[in-house]
Amino acid sequence: MIDALIFDFDGVILDTETPDFGTWREEFERHGVELDRSLWSSFIGGGAGTFDVYAHLEKQVGRPIDREIIRVRRRRRYLDLVESSPLLPGVADYLAGARRMGLKVGVASSSNREWVEGHLARRDLRRFVESVKSRDDVTSVKPDPELFLASAESLEVRPDRCLAIEDSANGVTAATRAGMFCVVVTNPMTRDMAVGHADLRLNALSDITLAELLERAVRSH
């Protein structure tokens, strides 16, 4: 029996990851060097601070950089791209479907609370979500299971009765360590990741109805 859906945010509800990498890649190219996609992807899902991109750029160019100019320029471009991005396919249907079915809904994100809550509010999605847990609420972010366990506790649902929706290897590891059925929905930045430890892999939530997904989760128990 599944009583709750717990969504990751970045890369699952909105594709914030492709523009994040893309705008950083532009900055590296501006400095005449390349940002390796596989290196960048290995840190996806782990939250801010797991990869010092400024230090990596300085190492690549062999000299100090003006971090503040880069931060302001890159951030402005990134936010513009995120704001213009649509919800990822199937997300709205799943949220509406969960409400119809009486399922609880949580978001467990390695990003900060202001980032997640702000986007949910601007997209009129906060009303579907009963609990938001972010890096501000835990000691360790993904791949540690703490975020998912905190989300389940907040929703008052046992972890083994939660279905987690993730997009990255770090997220899948966190969800499975928490004892949850985990479906991974890959995006352009995570499509090549090794995510074989997920219970199910999809290209988009729209590939399968919520009812069908719940049935698969129940059968797997």
Q: Which one from 3, 10, 20, 192 is the annotated catalytic residue? A: 10
Indicate whether 93 and 177 sit together in one domain: yes
Evaluate whether 12 touches 165 at the Cβ level (below 8 Å).
yes
Concatenated DSSP letters of 38-54: HHHHTTTTS-TTSS-HH
pLDDT in tens, 51-66: 899 999 999 999 999 9
CATH code for the domain of 123 = 3.40.50.1000
Domain boundary among 46, 63, 83: 83
Domain boundary among 83, 105, 140: 83
Asked if the model's pLDDT at residue 203 lies above 90, the reply is yes
Q: What is the pTM of this model?
A: 0.91
The domain in which residue 47 lies consists of 17-83
Indicate whether 75 and 133 sit together in one domain: no
pLDDT in tens, 180-200: 999 999 888 888 888 889 999
| Paired sense of beta strands 200-202 and 181-185, if any | parallel
Cα separations in angstroms, 124 against 96, 102, 119: 12, 19, 8
Cα–Cα distance measured from residue 92 to residue 206, given in angstroms and rounded to the nearest whole number: 10
Instruction: Output the furthest CA–CA distance in the chain (Å, rounded).
Output: 57
CA 181 distance to own-chain centroid: 16
Indicate whether 95 and 119 sit together in one domain: yes
Indicate whether 136 and 167 sit together in one domain: yes
Q: Which one from 3, 8, 144, 160 is the annotated catalytic residue? A: 8
Place of tokens 């890649």: 25
Indicate whether 110 and 74 sit together in one domain: no
Indicate whether 96 and 62 sit together in one domain: no
Indicate whether 100 and 75 sit together in one domain: no
What is the domain count for the chain?
2
Could you confirm whether 36 is annotated as catalytic? no
- Apex 147 CA angle, 143 and 150, nearest 5: 150
Indicate whether 61 and 129 sit together in one domain: no
Could you confirm whether 136 is annotated as catalytic? no
Residues sharing a CB contact under 8 Å with residue 199, sequence separation 6 or more, in sequence order: 176, 181, 182, 183, 217, 220
